[in-house]
Every structure is written in C-alpha cells, then in structure tokens.
Chain A
C-alpha cells in the first residue's frame, strides 16, 4: 500500500475493496504509522471501490487508537458512491473528518 509523507501528514492510498480479505493489511499499514508517531493520517479513497463491515470496523478501531495518541484520521477523495452511502448511513463524519474532494 502506497504511503506518502507530505509535511506533517502521512497520506495512505488504499486500492480496490477494503474487506474481510484485505482489511488486516490495511490495519497493519496504519498501525505501523501510528507506532512510528504519525499524528495526522490522511486516507485517500480515490481508488477505493468498496468497503464491507470488516473494513468499516477496522477504520473505527484505528480512529480510536490514533485519537488516544492525540492524533487524527482524515478521509479524502471518496470516489465510490457505495462507500459514500455507507459513511452517511453510519454517520462516520461524527468521528472521522471526511473531506469533500
């Protein structure tokens, strides 16, 4: 998974579906960033095509972890309508900032 560091931001570029098969890899990538001390993690969703409940669960778990360390997760460029709908349904914007592209 591609990760870029721009200023104080770590930008992560997940691709395809974040589901029960790929969620662990996704989680591990971000946990290692947190462990390295990343405080502002930006998830670029422009190439994410799908998200299942495992993926959503991991997002929430990671958010709690980062928040505990005083950091923040931001999601941007959500391209998939399905993913957008899922975020709206569970009111994810209450805990994770979702930037309109």
Chain B
C-alpha cells in the first residue's frame, strides 16, 4: 500500500509526459481533467495524498478546489502543488496563502517537479506515520486506564491483558506504517521463544492471533551482543547483515508477503518482534516496540504479584481448614476431596475459571466453625443428645464468624453457613429452602455427603462408590433425594464416575 498522486489538468491533455515520467519513478498516478472530477477522486480514494493542480481549471477556480478538497480529505493530510502560468512573486504568494503547499511555474521543468513531489511525499509519509503512532498510543493508553479501573489484585491474568494490549496497537484500521505481523513471547534458557502472533486480517477486518514456538537462540545472542533494539530492512542503506543472519529461517513462514524487514527488542526474557514494516519506518517501530515491551513487563510483574497474593491466600485458607480438620474425627484429605467434588459439580453451573477455583478453595473451609464446638461433643462416641446436636449445628454459624467479612471469602461464608441446609427446608441452621440456599452451598452439600458416605465414621462403615451414589440418588433411612437441589443432583448423576477417581486419588 502506497500513497497516490493526482494530477488535475485544465482540460487539454498536455501533461502526458509528466504522468509517464512520474510513473517511471515508481509513483502511482491518476489524471483527471476538471476540478469536479478531482473532488470525486478524492472522495473515493483516501490514499491520494498529493495533488498537482493546474491554476486554470475548466470548471472552477483553483482556490475553490483547494477549499472543497479540505472538506473531503477528513483527518488525512493532503498536499497540493499549484502549477501557475506566470512567474510573478504576487501569484506565488497568493497560491501559498490560499491552500497550496508548493508552487511550480509552467512550463514545467521535470527535475524540479520530481524533487518537489519527492519532498512532499516524504513529509506526507512521516506525517501519516506520526498520526498512526499517536492513535495507537492513544488506544493503548485508554486500554491501560480501563485495566486500572477494573483491576482486581486477586484475579489479574497477564495473557488476556497481553492480547488486548497488542490488539489495541494494531486495531482501528491497518495503518500504512504498520508491520505485517507482531510477535510477543517469553524466551527460555534454551532460546525457545513461545508466545502469540498478531496480524491484521483484511478478510475479517480485525486482528487475529495464534500461538507459536520458535527457536531464536542466535537472534538473542546477537541482540545481547549489540545491546540495543535491532531494525533491519533490505531496502535501506547501512544495514547490518549480521542481524538478518541471526534470525531463524522459519520466521519467514509467519509473513504472507516477501520477507524484507523486521525489528526486534529483547529484555528480561521477553522478546517482541515486528515483521515487514515499511522501509524507512524503523525508528518509529523501535519506539513502539520499546513502549509495548515496557508495558508488557509491567503487567507481567503485576501478574506475578497477583499470583503470589493468591497463593498466599489459598495457603492460608488451607491451613485454616486443616486446623478445623485436626480436631474432628475426619482425617487425611477430606477437605481437599470435598473441594474437588464441588469443583466438578460447579462446572455445570459456572463457566469462568476463577469461579471454579473460588468454589474449590472455599469448599475447603466448610467446617472451620467446628473449632468452636466443645470437643466433648465433637468427639463423642455414640449418639448425641438433642441439646448436643443443637450445639453441633451451630458450627455453621461459627464458621461465618471465623471467616469474618473479607469480600474474598463471601463464597466461603455462604458454604460454611448453608452446607447443611436442605432443598426441602429440613436442614440447619436456619431451615432455608430451595433457591434461598446459595448455589455454592447446595453443591458442597452433595460433595460433603458423598465423602461422608465413602468414609468410615464412628456410626457407620465406609460404603462403596456404587452404594454411596445410590443412597444420594435414591435415598435411604436418613437421606432423601428431595434434600438436594435437583439441578445439583443432575450434575452429580452426570459426573459421579469421576468422584470415585478423586476419592481414590486423595484417600
């Protein structure tokens, strides 16, 4: 994609030689014979960025053309060279004041035309480049603001932010200076680079991305040796051929066009590359690469902290759950199993990974309230009296008190309080029924009951997987299917084979 030049003549064909000379120099040239036709062309083709305008148009004054052109060019910049017939200083001044960027005096002297066209095209090129970069920086900045607004230190995920960030750099429309492909990823100690490629899809009109793995050991060595970002383009002068030699040959499979240039920047194991940028745009590419990489590294560091925070939190949750487990007769991996069972059931109700993870660790804490129950009741062999049983029931409320008011423990509180409620309203502590019982608690009810059936207790032997399933699905002298949420029971029916595997694995 390159900019085009439009010649507007005064009706008599006399610039044919001018057109062919410019075409010979590699310009894309269009020729029209009136101001009206010229305006039409500008409306249709946004790539026309330079007009050679005759000062004697058949249908309008050249000044009218200049002001009309202003209306159609939109945000793009259009340069106009006015061709005047009399070489008077007054006429030249008037032309420059009324919208022309440059003046040529007829009869035209071709070397001068060529030099002026070339100069103006160059500045058009850089202007466009600047505009594209500005817009891409602007989109990235708006995105960063959005990230800050929505920031949740507990669930921050780098890969999704990385994708959005690069998409924001490319999106809008493909800028004339944009590289064909952007590749972002981490390099391990063996020089293996894993990451995501991003490219503009003209057929879809949007950015597409896919994963890649590539060995870039030699490139990394080259980049480390020179100690700076690298820019290479075959069509430029003074290029370092070592840079070209250092890149893996299969990199060219990532571009659709002839592979001519790339820029690369490497820091702290992150490598960012742009492939096939236009010649002459390298200095801006490097700037873009640097800004992209530093943003990515910032987000990566934030993700690391977010992970550390979540791990510390989950570790503490587990320690707390174990403390409650230690005084109970239940031993071993009871809490971990209940977490995994609940996770399996939750898959039928929640699609986001964070919700599944949350239900898993929250389920561990379902019995923390038992810490507040008199051990004489908790560890009593033989049946509990009515009073003792009532005390025992309150472990659900104690659980909530122990968990406190942290927003990250809302699900854990729901589970601790309501995992002994029953769908038909016959459970405890409050006798809630149906949808009054939060869904996570309804799932943990089944998870907890299944685990209790499989395990040996003072009042019962351990049951087999089949027997436990049939008690849950069909009931026995203590349990009825109507105790359970029907949808949760359906989820159990569909996933129960996996429960056996989990039980055996976490015995």
**A53 contacts B432, C-beta separation under 8 Å:** no
Bound Cα distance A53, B432 (Å): 21
> In chain B, residues 396-431, which have Cβ atoms closer than 8 Å to a Cβ of chain A?
397-398, 400-402, 404-405, 413, 417, 429-431
**B430 contacts A61, C-beta separation under 8 Å:** no
**A89 contacts B390, C-beta separation under 8 Å:** no
If over half of B's interface residues share one DSSP class (helix, strand or loop), that class is named, otherwise mixed; here it is helix
Bound Cα distance A54, B402 (Å): 12
**B405 contacts A61, C-beta separation under 8 Å:** no
Chain B residues, CB < 8 A from A94: 430, 432
State how many angstroms separate the Cβ of B26 from the closest Cβ of chain A.
75
Chain A residues, CB < 8 A from B432: 94
> In chain A, residues 51-101, which have Cβ atoms closer than 8 Å to a Cβ of chain B?
53-54, 56-57, 60-61, 64, 85-86, 89-91, 94-95
Bound Cα distance A74, B293 (Å): 63
State how many angstroms separate the Cβ of B186 from the closest Cβ of chain A.
44
Bound Cα distance A90, B400 (Å): 6
B394 at interface, CB cutoff 8 A:
yes
Bound Cα distance A56, B391 (Å): 11
The residue that B405 contacts in the complex, of A57, A89, A91, with Cβ under 8 A, is A89
B310 at interface, CB cutoff 8 A:
no
**B372 contacts A89, C-beta separation under 8 Å:** no
State how many angstroms separate the Cβ of A97 from the closest Cβ of chain B.
13
Bound Cα distance A64, B397 (Å): 14
State how many angstroms separate the Cβ of B392 from the closest Cβ of chain A.
11
**B372 contacts A90, C-beta separation under 8 Å:** no
Knowing A60-B394, A90-B417, A91-B417, say if A53 contacts B430 (CB, 8 Å).
no
State how many angstroms separate the Cβ of A88 from the closest Cβ of chain B.
9
Interface centre among A61, A86, A90, by most B CB within 10 Å? A90
Knowing A89-B413, A90-B417, say if A57 contacts B397 (CB, 8 Å).
yes
> Which B residues are closer than 8 A to A by beta carbons?
372, 390-391, 394, 397-398, 400-402, 404-405, 413, 417, 429-432
Q: Which 9 A-B pairs have the closest CB atoms?
A: A57-B394, A94-B430, A53-B401, A90-B400, A90-B397, A53-B398, A95-B430, A53-B372, A60-B394
